[in-house]
């Protein structure tokens, strides 16, 4: 019996936006190892569950689906993103700076 993995989608490394990071994803663990096809030389597997990736709006919905389908699952906790500290160019010229500004 394979274990389903439930995790929160991470932020894309290509952009600074956080769109679609509130979703929860359920993925199936591989049931069999990949093997090389002797005719084409490509890697493949007969495990079609590995191709399925289900998205849910909340963690509770993902867990309810896994329980309804009788899937064993493990939940990866959501990583906390560091707080964004706004910066302004004008702060470089403040008179109450703690250290000198140099180029």
pLDDT digits (tens, 9 = 90+) for 37-48: 999 999 988 888
Residue 62 lies in a domain: yes
Q: What pTM, to 2 d.p., does this model score?
A: 0.68
Domain that holds residue 70: 1-8+21-28+51-77
Residue 85 lies in a domain: no
Domain count, the chain: 1
- Residue 95 dihedral angles phi and psi, to the nearest 5°: -85, -15
Q: What is the mean pLDDT of residues 3-12?
A: 87
Confidence of residue 79 (pLDDT cuts 50, 70, 90): confident
Range name among 29-38, 61-70, 81-90, 92-101 with the lowest pLDDT average: 92-101
Residue 56 lies in a domain: yes
Residue 4 lies in a domain: yes
Q: b/e for 75-90, b at 16 or more Cβ within 10 A?
A: beeeeeeeeeeeeeee
**Mean pLDDT of all residues belonging to the chain:** 85
Convert the pLDDT of each residue in 50-73 to its tens digit.
888 999 999 999 999 999 999 999
């Amino acid at each position: 019996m394979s274990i389903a993995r439930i995790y929160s989608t991470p932020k894309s490394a290509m952009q600074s936006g956080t769109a679609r990071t509130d979703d929860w994803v359920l993925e199936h663990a591989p049931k069999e190892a990949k093997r090389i096809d002797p005719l084409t030389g490509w890697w493949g597997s007969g495990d079609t569950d590995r191709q399925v990736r289900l998205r849910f709006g909340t963690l509770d919905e993902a867990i309810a689906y896994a329980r309804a389908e009788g899937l064993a699952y493990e939940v990866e906790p959501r990583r906390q993103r560091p707080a964004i500290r706004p910066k302004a160019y004008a702060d470089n010229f403040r008179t109450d700076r703690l250290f000198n500004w140099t180029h």
